Chain A
């Protein structure tokens, strides 16, 4: 299947700092990538949809100025959590669409555990 990577796999930062998370499609080009957040023992909640070369579309209740998304190429999208606070601590997961028969399916990255102290 299609491979999606994330970097870093975990990060600890101080409150008030910014953190950048990368999402890469390794063996395919992804015109669309998605960013999710998952709190412990809960489901994945979509934060935003990222299309290459255009502005991201944010879900209701997600602050676009706090969660900056850049999708500069067909294989890379980044999520920057600005001025992070302890309540931003969560598991952030990206996904990407691959083409062909699986055009309607999303392949997920391994996730990034963010802990804000």
Chain B
């Protein structure tokens, strides 16, 4: 099925650094979501975006819904070791019960 584009597959940063992740699609979505998954666990919702241009923060995380509705980015500021994990973006086109389309995920490593 369709997937969103996330690259690179892995990112390595130093503790305290900021990091930005991008997610792009060839088609538009009405909702963009960012999830974090730890090994052996289910994804945990970080930020949900419902409107083109929307910029939303959750602690050290900031995400934006692209104006074209075909992209979104997630910023993590002042990274800490527990930020390690896999970050997935997901797009949703329909209403509340419509399915999500996931990106392949970016594995983030944080060096102490």
Binding site for B on A (CB under 8 A): 1, 4, 6, 31-32, 34, 42-46, 49, 51, 59-60, 91, 93, 95, 97, 99, 102-111, 113
A-B contacts counted at CB < 8 A amount to: 64
Q: Which residue in B1, B42, B43, B99 is a CB contact (below 8 Å) of A49?
A: B99
Checking B30, B42, B97, B103 against A97 with a beta-carbon cut-off of 8 angstroms, the contacting residue is: B97
Interface contact B1-A102, CB-CB below 8 Å: no
Residues from 47 to 100 in B contacting A, C-beta threshold 8 Å: 48, 50, 88, 92, 95-97, 99-100
Chain B, interface residues (CB within 8 Å), range: 20 to 34
Across the A-B interface, the 6 shortest Cβ-Cβ residue pairs: A108-B42, A103-B96, A32-B97, A111-B42, A43-B102, A110-B42
Would A107 and B45 be within 8 Å (CB), given that A34-B99, A97-B96, A97-B97 are in contact?
yes
B88 touches A102 (CB 8 A): no
Show 29 A/B contacts (Cβ-Cβ < 8 Å), sorted by A.
A1-B45, A4-B42, A6-B42, A32-B96, A42-B104, A43-B88, A43-B102, A43-B105, A44-B43, A45-B1, A45-B102, A46-B100, A49-B99, A60-B1, A91-B40, A93-B43, A104-B30, A104-B50, A104-B92, A104-B96, A105-B45, A105-B48, A108-B35, A108-B42, A108-B43, A109-B42, A110-B41, A110-B42, A111-B41
